[in-house]
Amino acid sequence: MPDFTATIPGFATEEPRIIPLVYQPDSAHWFAAVRHLPNAIWLDSGHPGSSYGRFDIIAAAPQCLLETRAANTCIRYCDGRTDESAQDPFYLLKQLLPVNQLFEHANCHLPFIGGALGYFGYDLGRRLENMPNLALDDIALPEMSVGIYPWAIVQDHKQQESWLVINESLSQKIGGAYNFLEIEQLCAAQAKNPVFHDLKQALKSDDKSFKISDFKSNLNVSNYRSALAKIQDYIRAGDCYQVNFAQRFSAEFSGDPLIAYRVLRDALPSPFSGFMQLEAGAVLSLSPERFIQVRGSEVETKPIKGTIKRGITPEEDAANAGWLQNSLKNRAENVMIVDLLRNDLSKHCTHVRVPKLCELQTFANVHHLVSTVTGELNASASAIDVLRDAFPGGSITGAPKIRAMEIIEELEPTRRSLYCGSLGYISADGQMDTSIAIRTLVCDGDKIHCWGGGGIIADSETDQEYRESIAKVKVLMDTLEREFIAD
């Protein structure tokens, strides 16, 4: 493995170095080049299968890594130093990533010039609000795993361009030295590698494999109905208006999760996808939902509420889409969450608006109602401030948020881990884009988990909600079981 602590001569300026690379329509080619390095991450726009995304970001070997478990965050540097802290994890991230929110540079067209990449698990919300401890905590992954990466490969699928971005200034601010020359040589060598131009053939000849057992739910139909009845009792009592309730599906697996991810991204191309290689597991996310994006002073969130499966025939598909657009129940779910997110953005934004309400978006497996909420970031605030004070996302908790989270803790038998948290980046120039981690699988030891859920309101029909919770992740489970079921 390269020595990333080696000293590299040269003077670091505020401007990142931008080195053109060979553009690849499938970013899996570039991820294959760096995947062997520690903590490799690929934020994946789903191209070419998804028409909604544009940029892919790939990086590995962070200069420092923050991992939060319960009340403690461990900070590990690539030169061997370690620190521990009980401070707010978002505050620690602000300390380690000194973002200049209004920094203008020659490469503002790039979404990421080095910075933070990783995930913020749903259960990180316990660091922000006092929550009861009722659900079983049986997934050993950290609540937060975020690295500070002073370099990245960025692919622009709209312009069909690719770059290696090196931010020596960020590296020096973190402290210690970083061997960027190794990264440059790795990228240069990969572009000349014949395998680089025939990745599918290379994967077929790879001796790695992936196997999985059948998925099993942590709730039977009777348990699910009882939980929904309890939620509707709380709604009638005035405790809440909406609760996002989910069931978990788990299986045993062996082999390389990246093989599974590549098959899943073909089956369900999604604009906020991502793959993370962790020390003791992996994250395979096929999310369609943006949580929060920050571009300069412009802030945007795009909550999804309202879902129906795709039809088998064009006529049935169009009928399903029309039904969803005219469903008062689904529109009511969406509007409740829009109101919650307007309040969340207002903590750090002015001119909060809703330019699009209940817009239809179509994906491989379902139709969704998607709204857009925007705001203008206050001069005193940063992207991390907005993320922290809107976390976890309202679309996957309910309204009011804290009471909904308490009910989720009471009625879901197991903790959510990363599910319904967020995956994304925070660039050193203040730009940010994060997802809501739905349609997401987590590998922990020899177990793989995914979740399906939905917003429950007073008018919800239990059997329909149960079917919808399965439909949202059925394509993931069916694809893995069909392709990789163990003999």
Contact present, 244 and 408 (Cβ < 8 Å): yes
- Which of 8, 427, 1 has its CA nearest to residue 180? 8
192 three-state secondary structure: helix
Exposure string (b/e) for 86-95, b if CB count within 10 Å is 16 or more? eeebbebbbe
DSSP-assigned states of every residue in 267-281: HS--TEEEEEEETTE
Phi, psi (deg, nearest 5) at residue 147: -105, 155
Task: Tokens for 266, please give them.
Answer: 């073909």
176 three-state secondary structure: coil
Task: Tokens for 390, please give them.
Answer: 């809107």
Give the start-end residues of each E strand in 157-199. Answer: 161-166
Catalytic residue numbers, as ranges: 289, 305
Residue 186 to residues 129, 191, 214, 229, Cα–Cα distance (Å): 44, 9, 39, 57
Q: In the block, which residue shows the tokens 């889409």?
A: 321
Contact present, 145 and 285 (Cβ < 8 Å): no
- Which of 325, 416, 307, 424 has its CA nearest to residue 363? 307
Contact present, 122 and 414 (Cβ < 8 Å): no
Q: pTM (2 decimals)?
A: 0.93
- Which of 348, 230, 357 has its CA nearest to residue 298? 348
Contact present, 116 and 99 (Cβ < 8 Å): no
Task: Return d(Cα 253, Cα 445) in angstroms, integer.
Answer: 9
Q: What is the pLDDT along the chain (487 residues), one digit of tens a residue?
A: 445 444 333 334 468 999 999 999 999 999 999 999 999 999 999 998 888 889 999 999 999 999 999 999 999 999 899 999 999 999 999 999 977 655 565 667 899 999 999 999 999 999 999 999 999 999 999 999 999 999 999 999 999 999 999 999 999 988 878 999 999 999 998 877 755 555 555 554 454 689 999 999 999 999 999 999 999 999 999 999 999 999 999 999 999 999 999 999 999 999 999 999 999 999 999 999 999 999 999 999 999 999 888 999 999 999 999 999 999 999 999 999 999 999 999 999 999 999 999 999 998 888 999 999 999 999 999 999 999 999 999 999 999 999 999 999 999 999 999 999 999 999 999 999 999 999 999 999 999 999 999 999 998 999 999 998 998 999 999 999 999 987 6
Task: Return d(Cα 85, Cα 90) in angstroms, integer.
Answer: 12
Cβ neighbour number for residue 464 with a 10 Å cutoff: 12
Angle, helices 257-267/462-484, rounded to nearest 10 degrees: 120
pLDDT tens readout for residues 138-192: 999 999 999 999 999 999 999 999 999 999 999 998 887 899 999 999 999 887 7
- Which of 135, 120, 428, 123 has its CA nearest to residue 285? 120
CA dihedral 96, 101, 106, 110 (to 10 degrees): 80
pLDDT tens readout for residues 110-147: 999 999 999 999 999 999 999 999 999 999 999 999 99
